[in-house]
Amino acid sequence: MQKALMLLLVSALLACSSQTVAAEDSDVIVTVDSTNLRFNPSEVTVTEGQAVRFMWAGQALPHNAVADDGLFDSGEPARDVDYRFVFEPGTAGTHTFVCEPHASAGMVGTVIVEAAPVEVVEEETEVVASEDTPAISLVSSILVTAFAAVFVARYVDDEQAE
């Protein structure tokens, strides 16, 4: 019983998190502004599970986006970049990043990652538990009825035999 519950819960959570990762509509885009030396926007806020897409094309100068804490790295500076990074659970916090060739010129940015809300998980536990309970009581009441029927049938047979 406990194992079945755990399996249900885990699969529900997996379904939830994979949906969040695949939802590209929620991606936050960081590009390069017309001065060629600034990220736009230079500060973004996301929730754990959400992605930031660093993308620019046909730039006059090659750029990259590298986290100071090493969490993400778009690679070598390039004039065309499309780099998507998902901030998985556990990455909550403030992550500053730089464009390596232009960091000294002030081409820096910040990604603020907020922890995913915990209430969602608690709600799912309740839903799973409440859906499961009536099923158990239904099965047990059918069993009790069946046993009672057999018992009564035997009793009636014994009475008739005497």
Interface residues with Cu ion (CB under 5 A)? 63, 99, 102, 107
- Closest approach, Cβ 124 to Cu ion, in A, equals 43
Chain centroid, CA 3 distance in Å: 23
- Closest approach, Cβ 105 to Cu ion, in A, equals 8
CA distances from 106 to 102, 147, 150 (A): 7, 80, 85
Q: Quick one: CA torsion of 128, 129, 134, 138, rounded to 10 degrees?
A: 90
Name which of 65 and 116 has its Cβ closer to Cu ion. Answer: 65
Q: Which residue is nearest to Cu ion (CB)?
A: 99
Q: Which amino acid is at 11?
A: S
Name which of 63 and 95 has its Cβ closer to Cu ion. Answer: 63
Name which of 37 and 112 has its Cβ closer to Cu ion. Answer: 37
- Closest approach, Cβ 16 to Cu ion, in A, equals 37
